[in-house]
A and B are shown apart, each in its own frame.
Chain A
């Protein structure tokens, strides 16, 4: 049943219907509304039994979830940006111990300069921490992915990070269907841990593993991700069967069938890209789009299949790997190894800069004509850059670039 809701509220409600037993929270924008909503649902008894724990840091937040999960409780937390990096070693630890924690990541840039708006720098920083990373293309998928995430996590005993673009999705108010409790219960069986701290059957969890077995432990972590590649489409099909909509997949293709140029992206930019594709199709360009839902595991085969007929690929990504280009594009190139087609990287929407239909159309058109560089910065203020670089040339030290550029921008106005 559709209701006009803030996405964060809807996520809170769907999390509650997933019946987590321990929820840990440390506030950081833009995920705060989710955990605020959960605190209310726990306090008013909607979500019960559940321990809601206000912790003093993200490290503690995920550590509490880790402990709860190891003790057999379904555990949930949410974070963003600096918070994810603050808890970074626990992120690795949860996956290393194979604990099926589900965490919402309200994607946000990582400072400095401090910036509270959306991009994917946070998720990309920890892409290799052993978690499954699912990116929501829209608010409804953001809601639905959590149900799927718990089931996937617990089946594989592997943590899942549900990546939801900060503000763009988290704070969007729109008609949303929060899966009904009965359906969630039917889809998501109670948590049966693979390993658990139990005084009647004691084990030691978290041993020190030396050179003789560490490689094998890591291999098995990789193997879990490969298993997820198989399970995600199956669970998506199950989800469709029960809830009647397509939420969750390895990837979503859009008008790729005969496309010469295919745009690959993740998250909330997907919708805008699809609109731009429609407009360009109307203008006669054979273009299409692929939205990755699973970034870890990375769906190499599925993506290769989706991109198989294209002559070029444009990766639009909301993060920058300084000194290289884009983390996502590097991964996409892996899917296309052996195929002599160019993969253009377009960095867009960093730190919350809007990714507009117009910009996207310009980008895609240029790419379609192979008139873009390998690495493009969408909507880059070239004047500001040029002035700052000139200053760099004058003097090695010219003060903080950000302030200089702001001053220039004011002057320009």
Chain B
């Protein structure tokens, strides 16, 4: 169990807060004194999952470090929508350099903090493009040196900042501007892409985890745990993108939930390269429920017949469920 579940039943146990709970059991986001590290007035799309994810992560890290935190940001949506001069939405020390070098810049900041003995902690953050693709070299270097940085990838499965192109985190069959839904195998080809969490684990990092904006308790527990480790850590946060995926702006969290509960996005954590726990699926759903809600998969549901691609995607989900042990016993209620 990745986050400590509340044993005694409470009304709305999985909600952000709960008036019945002790403060220590509520999420950081329930607190009136949360840092709001990413504050109002930013220019993210309505219903932006990344804006949510970044505030969740940084506010938690701010609490975990007593506010002694610096953030380094890769180029991308998160950077552009938060800091169009002359206004910034950040309320913590924040540095943006380039698209592909966030991990290395963070290494530099961490080195400065170490040499000055300040104890200030460092988070580097970027989208999936800046993490899995252009920034992967710097990131791998930061990993293998075990620099004291928590790298957070906000994964919206594509290059949304530049207009929704494919990244190596784009899922199979998804339509993007560079994997159009035409031809024999429409959308992103199967058998491509990479799992950064597994690559991070291969670096034998002290801590690697995946999290999602729909389960705040789980996400915050992971950030808190990550900040308890020294050295290089990696957190991969699933952040749906209403624009890039094509869904109504109010369904961001719902989509994140469906992705996890169908098994396509497994929530787990790994210590020293070994998976140590996973967050069980509470109400399992078929991948259909997740895919149908998005325009980027609409071509799978054009005809009268179920597309065989859906079956392949279900197989991927089932494989995750088996591999990460996402279902215990009966597997929650369907």
Residue from A61, A90, A203, A210 in contact with B97 in the complex, judged by beta carbons closer than 8 Å: A90
Q: With the chains together, A337 CA to B24 CA distance in Å?
A: 73
A21 in contact (CB, < 8 A): yes
Binds A, one of B109-117, B174-182, B221-229, B294-302: B109-117
Question: Chain A residues with Cβ under 8 A from B117's Cβ?
Answer: 49
Q: With the chains together, A67 CA to B105 CA distance in Å?
A: 4
Given contacts A63-B98, A67-B106, A70-B95, contact A22 B84 (CB under 8 A): no
Task: Give 1 or 0 for each of B272-309: 1 = CB within 8 Å of chain A CB.
Answer: 00000000000000000000000000000000000000
Q: With the chains together, A43 CA to B104 CA distance in Å?
A: 22
Contact A68 B112 (CB under 8 A): yes
Contact A205 B95 (CB under 8 A): yes
Question: Chain B residues with Cβ under 8 A from A67's Cβ?
Answer: 72, 95, 97, 104-112
Which chain A residues numbered 32 to 75 have a C-beta less than 8 Å away from chain B? 49-51, 53-57, 59-61, 63-73, 75
B168 in contact (CB, < 8 A): no
Q: With the chains together, A90 CA to B104 CA distance in Å?
A: 11
A322 in contact (CB, < 8 A): no
Of all chain B residues, which has the CB nearest A212? Answer: B85
A274 to chain B, nearest CB (A): 41
Contact B108 A66 (CB under 8 A): yes
Given contacts A53-B107, A63-B138, A68-B109, contact A93 B98 (CB under 8 A): yes
Of all chain A residues, which has the CB nearest B90? Answer: A204
Residue from B91, B107, B116 in contact with A202 in the complex, judged by beta carbons closer than 8 Å: B91
Question: Chain A residues with Cβ under 8 A from B144's Cβ?
Answer: 56
Residue picked from B67, B73, B138, most chain A C-beta under 10 Å = B138
Which chain B residues numbered 61 to 110 have a C-beta less than 8 Å away from chain A? 67-70, 72-73, 79-80, 82-86, 88, 90-98, 100-101, 103-110
Residue from B85, B101, B114 in contact with A210 in the complex, judged by beta carbons closer than 8 Å: B85
Which chain B residues numbered 136 to 160 have a C-beta less than 8 Å away from chain A? 137-138, 140-141, 144-145, 147
Residue from A24, A50, A55, A199 in contact with B67 in the complex, judged by beta carbons closer than 8 Å: A199
B165 in contact (CB, < 8 A): no
Question: Chain A residues with Cβ under 8 A from B85's Cβ?
Answer: 207-210, 213
Q: With the chains together, A113 CA to B103 CA distance in Å?
A: 32
Task: Give 1 or 0 for each of B179-205: 1 = CB within 8 Å of chain A CB.
Answer: 000000000000000000000000000
Q: With the chains together, A65 CA to B108 CA distance in Å?
A: 6
Chain B: interface residue count, which band? 35 or more
B92 to chain A, nearest CB (A): 5
A252 to chain B, nearest CB (A): 35
B248 to chain A, nearest CB (A): 28
A197 in contact (CB, < 8 A): yes
Contact B109 A71 (CB under 8 A): yes
A89 in contact (CB, < 8 A): yes
Contact A64 B104 (CB under 8 A): yes
* A-B CB pair tally, cutoff 8 Å: 166
Residue from B69, B83, B115, B141 in contact with A60 in the complex, judged by beta carbons closer than 8 Å: B141
Contact B138 A57 (CB under 8 A): yes
A10 to chain B, nearest CB (A): 24
Contact B111 A64 (CB under 8 A): yes
Question: Chain A residues with Cβ under 8 A from B90's Cβ?
Answer: 202, 204
B13 in contact (CB, < 8 A): no
Question: Chain B residues with Cβ under 8 A from A340's Cβ?
Answer: none
Task: Give 1 or 0 for each of A325-350: 1 = CB within 8 Å of chain B CB.
Answer: 00000000000000000000000000
Which chain A residues numbered 191 to 221 have a C-beta less than 8 Å away from chain B? 197-199, 202-210, 213
Question: Chain A residues with Cβ under 8 A from B110's Cβ?
Answer: 67
Question: Chain A residues with Cβ under 8 A from B82's Cβ?
Answer: 204
Contact B137 A50 (CB under 8 A): no
Of all chain A residues, which has the CB nearest B67? Answer: A199
Q: With the chains together, A93 CA to B144 CA distance in Å?
A: 25
A288 to chain B, nearest CB (A): 45
Contact A202 B94 (CB under 8 A): yes
B140 to chain A, nearest CB (A): 7
Residue picked from B80, B82, B101, B106, most chain A C-beta under 10 Å = B101
Given contacts A59-B138, A66-B97, contact A208 B83 (CB under 8 A): yes
Question: Chain B residues with Cβ under 8 A from A93's Cβ?
Answer: 97-98
Contact A69 B88 (CB under 8 A): no
Which chain A residues numbered 65 to 112 have a C-beta less than 8 Å away from chain B? 65-73, 75, 89-90, 93, 97
Contact A199 B97 (CB under 8 A): no
B320 in contact (CB, < 8 A): no
Q: With the chains together, A55 CA to B92 CA distance in Å?
A: 27
Question: Chain B residues with Cβ under 8 A from A73's Cβ?
Answer: 108, 111-112, 115-116
Q: With the chains together, A269 CA to B138 CA distance in Å?
A: 37
Residue from A65, A197, A207, A213 in contact with B93 in the complex, judged by beta carbons closer than 8 Å: A197
B3 in contact (CB, < 8 A): no
Residue from A57, A66, A97, A197 in contact with B70 in the complex, judged by beta carbons closer than 8 Å: A197
B314 in contact (CB, < 8 A): no
Contact B104 A72 (CB under 8 A): no
A275 to chain B, nearest CB (A): 44
Contact B115 A70 (CB under 8 A): no
Question: Chain B residues with Cβ under 8 A from A71's Cβ?
Answer: 70, 108-109, 112-113, 116, 120
Residue from A53, A198, A203, A209 in contact with B111 in the complex, judged by beta carbons closer than 8 Å: A53
Q: With the chains together, A338 CA to B104 CA distance in Å?
A: 48
Given contacts A53-B107, A207-B96, A208-B85, contact A60 B112 (CB under 8 A): no
Contact B84 A210 (CB under 8 A): yes
Contact B112 A72 (CB under 8 A): yes
B93 to chain A, nearest CB (A): 4
Q: With the chains together, A205 CA to B147 CA distance in Å?
A: 22
Task: Give 1 or 0 for each of B112-134: 1 = CB within 8 Å of chain A CB.
Answer: 11111100100000000000000
B104 to chain A, nearest CB (A): 4
Q: With the chains together, A51 CA to B108 CA distance in Å?
A: 9
B39 to chain A, nearest CB (A): 11
Contact B105 A199 (CB under 8 A): no
Residue from A51, A65, A89, A197 in contact with B115 in the complex, judged by beta carbons closer than 8 Å: A51
Return the 9 tightest CB-CB contacts between A and B, nearest first. A67-B108, A206-B96, A56-B141, A63-B104, A73-B112, A71-B112, A204-B88, A67-B105, A64-B108
- Give 10 pairs: A residue, B residue, CB < 8 Å, sorted on A: A49-B116, A51-B114, A63-B138, A64-B104, A197-B109, A203-B93, A204-B82, A206-B96, A208-B83, A210-B85
Interface residues of B (CB under 8 A from A): 67-70, 72-73, 79-80, 82-86, 88, 90-98, 100-101, 103-117, 120, 137-138, 140-141, 144-145, 147
